[in-house]
Amino acid sequence: MFVARFSCNVRYGHKDDALAVHRRWLDKIGTQLGWKQRVLVGSIGDESRLESEMTISSLAELEKAWEKLSTIDEHKKMAKELEPHIVSGTNRWEIFRVVDL
């Protein structure tokens, strides 16, 4: 099992707008992928941080979802809507393996 986390930094004063676009993306696109996401925003320290994470069973599942994303025109449109609200070059994916201790 893995946790896939997408993150970016939001421009100063744009957090509400970025969250509104992201919320619409979750409703329209995330549901098509079957993703149930937990959304986090920075509170102390890196207050401009926006993160969205989901649990996936395999890296193959994530790759399949990424392939599907590239075919969804609404995803491309919403990425352009989000762009003015984020700091360019800060978007990234991190993948964590869940371990049982």
Q: What is the pTM of this model?
A: 0.85
d(CA 12, CA 58) in angstroms, rounded, equals 35
Kindly tell me the burial class for residue 93, based on how many C-beta atoms sit within 10 Å of its own C-beta (0-12, 13-18, 19 or more). exposed
Alpha carbons within 13 A on the beta-carbon side of 25: 20
- Beta-carbon contacts of 61 under 8 Å, excluding residues fewer than 6 positions away, are none
Give the model's pLDDT for residue 35.
86
Give the model's pLDDT for residue 46.
87
**Cβ of 6: how many Cβ atoms within 10 Å?**
16
Summarised one tens digit per residue, pLDDT across range 45-64 is: 888 999 999 999 999 999 99
Checking if the pLDDT of 34 tops 90, the result is no
Q: What dotted CATH number matches 2-97?
A: 3.30.70.100
pLDDT band for position 77 (cuts 50, 70, 90): very high
**Cβ of 22: how many Cβ atoms within 10 Å?**
24
